[in-house]
A and B are shown apart, each in its own frame.
Chain A
Amino acid sequence: MVYGKESEVFSIQTIDLTKRFAKKRHRGIFGFLRKNQSENKHKEKNDVTVALDKVNLNIRPGELFGLLGPNGSGKTTTIKCLSTILIPDEGRAIVNGFDTRKETAMVRASLGLVVGGERTLYWKLTARDNLTYFASLYKMPRRDAKKRVEELLETLQLSDRADERLEDYSTGMRQKVAIARALLHDPPILLLDEPTLGLDPNFARQIRNQIKELSEKYGKTVLLTTHYMEEADQLCDRVAFINNGKIVAVDTPNRLKAMVKEKELVEVAVYRPPADIEKHIRSLLPDAEVVKLIPGDEDKGNPSRIKIIGGTAEEHVGTIIDALRQKNVRIGSLNVGVPTLEDVFIKLTGAKLTEGEIK
């Protein structure tokens, strides 16, 4: 454990955690030759992506802590630095009182890890074989490992199909095996990276209930990364927003939402909006704090959405409809509602939490 100010105890603490990756633009022999011919050789040598930029987190024991951000924002890099898969360039990370650089084995023994989901298991092996194998990597004695594997298969309702190869499992069942693997050695801390990504609603709900239970019933400290704000809102005691490798805000979901609570939100579903629609609406609504176009996937039946936060919704609605008509944009629906965590994120960063929107 790490003792912070006023004797506060933390299960996970990061201090100015920084990680950079070299940009790999040149690939293969032709890329190498191009690189050497490049006039801008010096500049390219120093061309790096800052994946984590002085990240400071303090997570208390038993806390269910959410790390929210769009794809590429630094969530997985944070998890990988905490789990010792990556070595940070600067700063420190302390897990269960152990330094991730100096006390690697103890950090590893303190953690249960779910990163990358179902693909990270051996599909040609059964659930039982997978769990037994990973139990050995966690130095569990053979007898304890066997008992624990049976226990987890039972708890996660996998016993009936424990001897089937994972290639015959559904995505949700494989994800359950991934969670069972993280729990094998009964670690005090769990790092869960997008645990419900790609799951059908039924399995996603089961996994969420499981996570909640692990925190509430078994007192596990859980660091959960997700870009599903409803999930974070529903599960997490506290949430940190991360964008472009920087922590933008940390607080409870309710307090974060209070930042925009008194503001009114208008959300319009639209089809084929022109590129300048955001600018056009903003020019007509000078008192709106946020006007954000979130592109949808119209081919799959998901219209684009325009979110307007701030000002008076009643006054805005007419102006918005007029603005959209002027641009010949078809309106799918229009809602006036309470802002969500996503709205807070949009307000703070200008980006949205779902894929492909990071600036």
Chain B
Amino acid sequence: MIESSYQQSVLRSNLFVVWNEIVKNIKTLLAYPTIIVFWAIFPIFWFIPFILQGQAFVGGLESANFAQITGSGEYVPFIVIGAVLNSYVNTLLYGMGENIRKEAYQGTLDYVLAAPCNKAYVLIGKAISESLSSTIFAISQLTISVLLFGMSITLGVMVPVFFIVILLILGLYGIALIMAAFSLMYKQSYDLSESIGYIFYIFAPVRYPIESLPTWAQIFGKLIPLTYALIIVRSFMLLGADLSTVYLEVIALLIIDLALLLAGFYLFSWMEEKTRKSGAISHH
């Protein structure tokens, strides 16, 4: 049996791991009915306060000053795009570390780590399931924006947007792996997730254009994958730009993705080795 279990194609067996990890996480998630409320209602609460604040400040849904900086005077779609993409950051940053912590707490992590499969595929499965729930959340947010604020979405533009969201998610997987690694060793990664979440929130143009930041902060912001994703998606959706205008940002996003993924996988396997030496997993 030991030999035969290795006879199927490596790719197929790895995909089977990824698939089952996704199924497991989604089924576990759906076992809690309150999650439906989270997906259906929470999106409204996330960005409505900012839109109302904007309305109070500029006295309408458009601002000339805003148009000078961003090229488009409508700040509602600007805020919605920021909120939607930032929800991926939140889910992946907190979700992955929490997922590992839960597994360790309930005792299943030992079994996952003691299985012969490559753990990278388990982590990929975890990350995909986290981003799937983010996508449902994002769809809720966009639907609400269309229905309540008359935001217009051209379906044709959603294809390149989807591609950029995938690129953003890849970079976030790298950070999520780093969170998972910390969670493995230190039993929780909440504080680190919280700190990184705030850094992203301040230095990436989630709620305001990057030009609003001081120069040094703009330079720092350009190390964050979310910054590029926001710039590119807003260019597509609000300014009607195409890939030729933002290809440099796309390349920068790809490079950051690669660096983060490599760092994430390396750190996770290093921490796994460290916990097997120290017995930290058993001490959860």
Contact = CB atoms under 8 A, between A and B. Distances in A.
A80 B5 contact: no
B65 interface: no
Interface in A81-133: 83-87, 89, 96, 105-106, 108-111, 113, 115-116, 119-125, 129, 132-133
Contacts of B111: 113, 120, 134, 137, 181
A125 B27 contact: yes
Contact of B106 (A110, A111, A119): A119
B253 to A, nearest CB: 32
A4 interface: no
A109 B116 contact: yes
B5 A136 contact: no
A124 B31 contact: yes
A80 B282 contact: yes
Contacts of B117: 136-139
Contact of A124 (B20, B27, B279): B27
B139 to A, nearest CB: 24
Contacts, number: 121
Contact of B115 (A120, A137, A142, A144): A137
Interface in B2-19: 2, 4-8, 12-13, 16-17, 19
A85 B31 contact: no
A261 interface: no
B159 interface: no
Nearest to B106: A119
A250 interface: no
B27 A140 contact: no
Contacts of A141: 7-8, 12-13, 16
Interface residues of A, number: 49
A129 B114 contact: no
B110 interface: yes
B1 A186 contact: yes
Contacts of A140: 5, 13
Contacts of A142: 16
Contacts of B17: 136-137, 139
A249 interface: no
Contacts of A85: 110, 113-114, 276, 281-282
B76 to A, nearest CB: 39
Contact of A133 (B20, B114, B116, B277): B20
A87 B277 contact: yes
B122 interface: yes
A140 B283 CA distance: 30
Interface of A: 19, 21-22, 24, 76-77, 80, 83-87, 89, 96, 105-106, 108-111, 113, 115-116, 119-125, 129, 132-134, 136-142, 144-145, 165, 181, 185-188
